[in-house]
Copies of this chain bind each other. A is one copy, B any other.
Amino acid sequence: LAADGTFKHLGLVGCGLIGSSILRAVREGALVERTSVFDRDGNVCAYVQAEGLADAAATDPGVLAGADLVLLCVPVGAMGPAAASIAEELQPGAVVSDVGSVKASVIEDVSPHLPGGVAFIPAHPIAGTEHSGPAAGFAGLFQGRWVILCPPGATAMDEAAAARVEALWHAMGAQCARMSAAHHDQILGITSHLPHLIAYTIVGTATDLGDDLKAEIFRYSAGGFRDFTRLAASDPIMWRDVFLNNREAVLELLQRFSEDLSALQKAIRRGEADTLERYFEKTRTVRRGVIDAQQER
């Protein structure tokens, strides 16, 4: 442990869009002394080495030996196995964190595998693009974005570890907030998971209209569809895991969404102009809130 609380040796499990962006941000800011990557995919390790993104990269977890911070950067469905595979490399005093988009399931899956004396600080950077893989990452990805931490414990060790993880995210340009895992999964259900599910659905609906319409759908996509195709181009494995691991919150929000959609459908069928106009006036004001929260590009 460095005297100032910063980490000396950062280990990553998985190096895709998020992992490689962390490596680039850490390298740019010289935020740690050493970085190591454990990724099952030899091509990813070769890329990391060729680009000099980390000091070491290997398909064996042994490469993480000595890391005082290990970040799990794999799809949420792979968090449990990832934690199990690195357990032997974790020294007392090490901190484990993650970047998963669901928090309750990750806590449940990861915690049992961690040895005593290792603090687990679940975290979720609200940042990303529709691209995936290590070549898609960039150092500025977290600039101005929020990272939500959901520390499950409240011991002095947990508190110290959370503060150190926050300091690292701050150094990468992010802002940090804390909340319970259940609350995180509810909020992200509406701000991220449901929007992605809806985007995947509508792009699928359009695709099924037939090959003869496809060229025209692409060509005239600037009217709104385009924005959905961006979301629906996100990593399929990552999102499959998100929906399966935040199932209850997503299904409940989907139920509310379906009810609202049915109400608008009925208003359109019946020609209820006032109902539609009132609804659209209401949603218009939400945009102001997003802009005021400085979360527009």
Contacts and interface: CB of A to CB of B under 8 A. Distances in A.
Size class of the A contact interface (CB-based, 8 Å): 35 or more
Contacts of A282: 204, 207
Per CB-CB distance, the 9 closest pairs between chain A and chain B, nearest first, are A192-B223, A195-B224, A233-B287, A236-B280, A218-B293, A232-B283, A203-B283, A218-B289, A191-B225
Contact of A223 (B128, B224, B232): B128
B146 A286 contact: no
A273 interface: yes
A227 interface: yes
A195 B223 contact: yes
A238 to B, nearest CB: 9
A278 to B, nearest CB: 8
B233 A230 contact: no
Contacts of A195: 202, 223-225, 227-228
Given A195-B202, A219-B293, 15 more contacts: A187-B216, A190-B205, A190-B209, A191-B220, A191-B225, A195-B224, A200-B264, A205-B256, A209-B256, A215-B289, A218-B295, A233-B286, A236-B277, A236-B284, A244-B268
Identify which of A202, A215, A239, A268 gathers the most chain B CB atoms within 10 Å of its CB. Answer: A202
A260 B204 CA distance: 8
Contact of A191 (B188, B224, B230, B295): B224
A264 B232 contact: no
B196 A224 contact: yes
A223 B287 contact: no
A284 B126 CA distance: 21
Interface string A239-270: 11001100100110110111011001100110
Nearest to A267: B243
Contacts of A264: 197, 200-201
Nearest to A292: B218
A4 interface: no
A99 interface: no
Contacts of A293: 215, 218-219, 221
A265 B226 CA distance: 23
Contacts of A244: 268, 271, 273, 276
B286 A268 contact: no
